[in-house]
Structure 1
């Protein structure tokens, strides 16, 4: 038999808590056509309103511009090191992609 719980009479079982991040966030850097670069943060699982709030906070802390495109955070410039420190302090796991 499987150990998977199908039904429980425990009233506290399965209550939603803080949603877990299923996999590490991907942090990368891409160069544009004109030589300018963009730091990208992908695979962040949270409500869209909270993503907008987090984007505003990170832009303020990094001191740069940025946007949210198709669920990916894009920050103007190379901010991988600073962004990694900020996200690790918030408890996220980070996987650096590329250089």
Structure 2
């Protein structure tokens, strides 16, 4: 049985990731890129950004990438991205749309 180094609980019962999600301050904004394309930028997620980006891209049916722990989604998806992040366990009060 493997033990979590942070909380000392077995990995099956570990709640460290859930606690991290509740504390994170997330900012969602839109940026206009070359050729007038709009990109939704999600900053402030520290844990498992690639997996979260994969889920967002699948549910929003768009392309995207992760660069330096910043998620970039093709298109303007600010409101929908916030809804999905709340469903993934992030606190709504900690997510701000700019």
- TM-score (structure 1 length as normaliser): 0.72
Structure 2: unaligned runs, 5 residues or longer: 1-5, 9-14
Number of corresponding residues: 81
- Picking from 11, 16, 19, the partner of 1:18 is 16
- Flag the structure with larger Rg: 1
* Cα contact 2:7–2:16 (8 A) shared by 1: no
| Over 3 Å off, 4+ runs | none
- Say which structure is richer in helix: 2
Matches within 5 A, 1:1-99: 15=7, 17-19=15-17, 20-21=20-21, 22-46=23-47, 50-92=48-90, 93-97=94-98
Structure 1: unaligned runs, 5 residues or longer: 1-13
| Alignment RMSD | 1.7
